[in-house]
Structure 1
Amino acid sequence: MSSRFSRRRRARVAYPVLLLLAPVLAAGCSAPPSAAPNSGGWVGPTAPATAGQPATPTASPAPTASPAPTAARASASASPTRAGLRHVFPVRASNVDYHPTHSAYPGTDIFADCGEPVVAVTDGTILEVSRVDRFDRRGPLGPNNGGLSVSLLGDDGVRYYGSHLSAITAGIDVGDRVRAGQQVGRVGRTGNANNVCHVHFGISPACTGRGDWWIRRGVVWPARYLDSWRRDGNREPAAEVGAWRRKHGCPKAPTAGGEAG
Structure 2
Amino acid sequence: MRSPSIGRRARAAYPVLLLLVPALVAGCGAPDAGSSATPVSSWEAPSSPVTAAQPAAPSTVAPTSATPSPSPSPRKLRHVFPVRASNVDYHPTHSAYPGTDIFADCGEPVVAVTDGKVLEVSRVDRFSKSGPLGPYNGGLSVSLLGDDGVRYYGSHLSAIAGGIDAGVRVRAGQQLGKVGHTGNANNVCHLHFGLSPKCTGHDDWWIRRGVIWPAPYLNSWRRDGNRGPAAEVTAWQKKHGCPKAPTVTSGAG
Matched residue, 1:128 = 120
Consecutive unaligned residues of structure 2, counting only runs of 5 or more, are 1-40, 51-59, 61-72
Query: In the alignment, does 2:19 pair up with 1:19?
Result: no
Amino acid at match of 2:237: R
Deviation for aligned residue 1:202:
0.2
Q: How does 1:1-261 map to 2 (within 5 A)?
A: 13-15=42-44, 18-19=45-46, 22=48, 84-208=76-200, 211-254=203-246, 257-261=249-253
Q: How many Å separate the matches in 2 of 1:205 and 1:162?
A: 14
Provide, for residues 68-110 of structure 1, a one-character-per-residue CA deviation record: whole Å limited to 9, x for no partner. xxxxxxxxxxx9xx67311110000000000111000000000
Q: Distance in 2 between matches of 1:238 and 1:257?
A: 26
Letter in 2 for 1:118: V
Q: In structure 1, the residue corresponding to 2:186 is in which secondary structure?
A: coil
Q: Could you tell me whether the CA contact under 8 Å between 2:95 and 2:251 is conserved in 1?
A: no
8 Å CA contact retained: 1:99, 1:108: yes
Query: Offset of 1:138 from its aligned partner?
Result: 1.0
Mapped to 2, the partners of 1:84 and 1:187 lie a distance apart of 28
Instruction: Determine which structure has more spread, i.e. the larger CA radius of gyration.
Output: 2
Does the aligned pair in 1 maintain the 2:181–2:188 contact within 8 Å? yes
Q: 1:210 to 1:127 in 2, by over 3 A?
A: farther
- In the alignment, structure 1 segments of 5+ residues that lack a partner are 1-11, 27-37, 39-78
Q: C-alpha displacement at 1:259, in angstroms?
A: 4.5
1:256, distance to aligned residue in structure 2 (A): 6.6
| Cα separation, partners in 2 of 1:114 and 1:215, compared to 1, 3 Å | same
Counterpart contact for 1:105–1:257, Cα < 8 Å: no
Q: Give how far 1:255 is off.
A: 6.6
The alignment partner of 1:14 has SS state of coil
Structure 2-normalised TM-score? 0.72
1:207 partner amino acid: C
Q: 1:254 offset after TM fit, Å? A: 2.5
- What is the percent sequence identity of the aligned residues? 78
User: SS of 1:19's equivalent?
Assistant: coil
Amino acid at match of 2:195: I
CA distance in 1, matches of 2:154, 2:170: 15
Q: Which amino acid aligns with 1:133?
A: D
Contact 1:104 1:256 in 2 (8 A): no
RMSD: 2.2
Distance 1:209 1:162 in 2: 21
CA gap 1:179/1:97 in 2 versus in 1, 3 angstroms: same
Secondary structure of 1:121's counterpart equals coil
Matched residue type, 1:219: V
Q: Structure 1 residues 209 and 152, CA, compared in 2 at 3 Å: closer, same or farther?
A: farther
Give the TM-score, by structure 1 length. Answer: 0.69
